[in-house]
Amino acid sequence: MTERPALPPRRPITGFTRVLLVVLRVYVFITVPLVVFTFFHTLKP
């Protein structure tokens, strides 16, 4: 049987990963309203 290995404790996110996640957060804040707007815009007759 395959056992689940224990994961090491989560460490604070630093360095390049932190930069990438900040960029991702900005990307999400731009794209989510865009998706919502597109959906409702296409509903217009």
Partner 1 sequence: MNGAAFGTEGELVPWIPMREEVLRARDRARVQHARSTNRPMWLFALLAGPGILVMLGENDGPSMLSYATTGASFGVGFFIPFIVLTFVLAYIVQEMVVRIGIATRRGHAELIVDRFGTSWGRFAMGDLAIGNLLTLVTEFIAIRAGTAYFGVPPTIAVIGAAALVALAMFTRRYMTWERIVIALAVGNLLFIPAALLAHPDGAAIARALATWGPIPGGFSMAFFTLVLANIGATVTPWMLFFQQSAVVDKGLARADLTQARVDTGLGATIAAIVAIATIVAAATLYNHHVDVRTLSDGANFATALKPFIGSTGAALFALGMIEAGLVAAMTISTSSAYGVCEVLRAKHSLNAEFSSARTFYATGLLSVAIAGAIVLLPHAPLLSISITVNVIATLLMAPALLFVLLLASDGEIMGDLKNSVRSNAVAGTIVATIALVGAAYALTIVVPFFTGGSAG
- Summarize as ranges the residues that interact with partner 1 (CB under 8 A): 1-5, 7-8, 10-11, 13, 17, 20-21, 24, 27-28, 31, 34-35, 38-39, 41-43
CA distance 16 to 21: 9
Least spacing, CB of residue 14 vs partner 1, in Å: 13
Q: CA 17: distance to chain centroid?
A: 13
Least spacing, CB of residue 28 vs partner 1, in Å: 7
